[in-house]
Amino acid sequence: MRIIADCHEPAELIRILRTAGSVNGSAVEIEADSLDVGDFLIGPGIAVERKAGGDFVASLLDGRFAEQTAKLRATYEKVIWIIEGDPYDVHMALEPAVITGAISHLAVVEGATVLRTRTLQETAALLLSMAKRLQDGRRDLPLRPSKPADPRVLAEYIVAGLPGIGRSKARLLLERFGSVRGVLMADAGEIAAIRGFGRKTAHTIQAALDAKY
């Protein structure tokens, strides 16, 4: 059984995974690597995003949440979120209803599986249990994604990276211009003519596309 873990995951969690695998008598290979998105790959096309409670809340505040959900959905066939600890028990200025809304968004809109654990030990046990059921003792499974699972979502992710453009506006642009290339080739006047955009947004996008590296 093999699990690929992002190299930025806690060393203690990696140690627990390796120790737990040995104690349970299963041959577990934990490969540390730099993953573009996701924290663990536990099966073909299946990624796990682990968030400590405080980090989950922080990602809502700093905007990482929307970016990560879009990129995960575009890259993997199935995404599992593990929220470790209590996201409601953190000293940050965020209403509980916002946290609840984010969790329900993952399940209902993104189609992700959301699981809760209390400790690193519980997270490790859950990762091992899921990987075992997905891999069934095989060690030759290709864990890394070979291509985006959903080209439409990938297109939305790329366009949503433009300044002032989120997921909903990305969809409007793609519907109007037909493709990512079409969006990038559109001029400011064509973008400004779309309801809800305006010239300021259009010129900001054009300036970002034309900026020297």
Greatest mean pLDDT among 79-83, 139-143, 158-162, 199-203 = 79-83
Provide long-range contacts, Cβ within 8 A and 24+ apart, for 134-140: 134/42, 134/43, 134/44, 134/46, 135/1, 135/2, 135/42, 135/43, 137/1, 139/1, 139/2, 139/27, 139/29
Integer angstrom CA distances of residue 167 from 10, 159, 175: 31, 8, 12
Question: Is residue 184 scored above 90 in pLDDT?
Answer: yes
State pLDDT tens for residues 80-130: 999 999 999 877 778 999 999 999 999 998 899 999 999 999 999 999 999
User: CA 60, CA 72: separation in Å to the nearest integer?
Assistant: 16
> What is the chain's mean pLDDT, rounded?
88
Domains, the chain, with CATH or none: 2-135 (3.40.50.10130), 151-210 (1.10.150.20)
> Considering the entire predicted model, what is its pTM?
0.73
